[in-house]
Amino acid sequence: MNKWRRDQMAARVANDIAEGAYVNLGIGLPTMVANHLPKGREVFLHSENGILGMGPAPAPGFEDDDLINAGKQPVTLLPGGAYFHHADSFGMMRGGHLDICVLGAFQVSVKGDLANWHTGAADAIPAVGGAMDLAIGAKKTFVMMEHLTKSGESKIVATCTYPLTGIACVSRIYSDLAVIDITANGLQVVEIVEGLSFDELQKLSDVPLHHKN
């Protein structure tokens, strides 16, 4: 089965980020989106640890232990960027000032509930970080994830079985098979990977899909 590669997924998300957007990219796959923003398009990257106007990784030898992103990787600051403390940083999120937040997910429900912080396994050590703030804070929450689990089950579900991160917070899913909007009228398919039909996508997904009007 044809699938979008991770860099293709990142490019697809990047393409949907308009100039001037304030954007938080979650750790993991979403971080890759930064590398695919069209050159010359000014997008403002926010990092939960108190950075706005975050730039790319520094050149080797220019790493700075005081300048890291949410994933604790060295980053840079663009001219025009700013630093602020954690309460101000999360006020930006919670106050609805970010246009877009891109997160990974274990599951997304048909209503836009998100599960991405905890497998719920009895022996797992929980860690939530900024996931719950990001999920409910931005004007739009995008999810990037593989469409299916390793065992082939749909990660888009009627009801999340993993512990929730946020309720009805996801606007759009970018999977490796499709781009799907979550709307009041259900899941609307915006785009499907080449070579896969709508009916095939529907078969692979746990929940009713609709053609985007």
Partner 1 sequence: MINKISASVTEALADIQDGAIVMIGGFGGAGQPTELIDGLIAQGARELTVVNNNAGNGETGLAALLKAGQVRKIICSFPRQVDSQIFDGLYRAGKLELELVPQGNLAERIRAAGAGIGAFFSPTGYGTDLARGRETREIDGRMYVLEMPIHADVALIKAEAGDRWGNLVYRKAARNFGPIMATAARLTIASVHEVVELGALDPEAIVTPGIFVQRIVKVPRASRFSTVATVSKQAAA
Quote the radius of gyration of the chain (alpha carbons, Å).
Answer: 17
Pick out residues in 2-61 that bind partner 1 (CB under 8 A): 19-20, 22, 39-40, 42, 44, 46-53, 55-56, 58-59
Can residue 139 be called a binding residue for partner 1 (CB under 8 A)? no
Can residue 125 be called a binding residue for partner 1 (CB under 8 A)? yes
Among 111, 163, 171, 202, binds partner 1 (CB under 8 A): 163
| Block residue for tokens 């877009």 | 100
Do 149 and 108 touch, CB atoms closer than 8 A? no
Can residue 72 be called a binding residue for partner 1 (CB under 8 A)? yes
Shortest Å, Cβ 209 to partner 1 = 25
Contacts of 97 (CB under 8 A, 6+ apart): 22
Contacts of 171 (CB under 8 A, 6+ apart): 112, 140, 141, 142, 181, 182
Geometric angle at alpha carbon 105, from 117 and 15, rounded to 5°: 135
Can residue 92 be called a binding residue for partner 1 (CB under 8 A)? yes
Do 192 and 147 touch, CB atoms closer than 8 A? no
Can residue 82 be called a binding residue for partner 1 (CB under 8 A)? yes
Do 192 and 198 touch, CB atoms closer than 8 A? yes
Residue 100, both tokens: 């877009």
Say which amino acid occupies 184: A
Only one of the segments 1-9, 72-80, 151-159, 179-187 lies at the binding site for partner 1 (rule: CB under 8 A); that segment is 72-80
Q: How many residues bind partner 1 (CB under 8 A)?
A: 67
Only one of the segments 102-110, 133-141, 186-194, 203-211 lies at the binding site for partner 1 (rule: CB under 8 A); that segment is 133-141
Is 48 in the active site? yes
Shortest Å, Cβ 73 to partner 1 = 10
Can residue 132 be called a binding residue for partner 1 (CB under 8 A)? yes
Kindly name the residue from 48, 146, 194, 200 that is annotated as catalytic.
48
Can residue 123 be called a binding residue for partner 1 (CB under 8 A)? yes
Can you point out the beta strands (E) in the chain?
Answer: 22-25, 44-47, 51-55, 76-83, 100-104, 107-109, 114-115, 140-144, 156-157, 170-174, 178-183, 186-192, 209-211
Can residue 68 be called a binding residue for partner 1 (CB under 8 A)? yes
* Site for partner 1, rule CB under 8 A: 19-20, 22, 39-40, 42, 44, 46-53, 55-56, 58-59, 62-68, 72, 76-87, 89-98, 118, 123, 125-133, 136-137, 163-167
User: Which residues participate in catalysis according to the annotation?
Assistant: 48
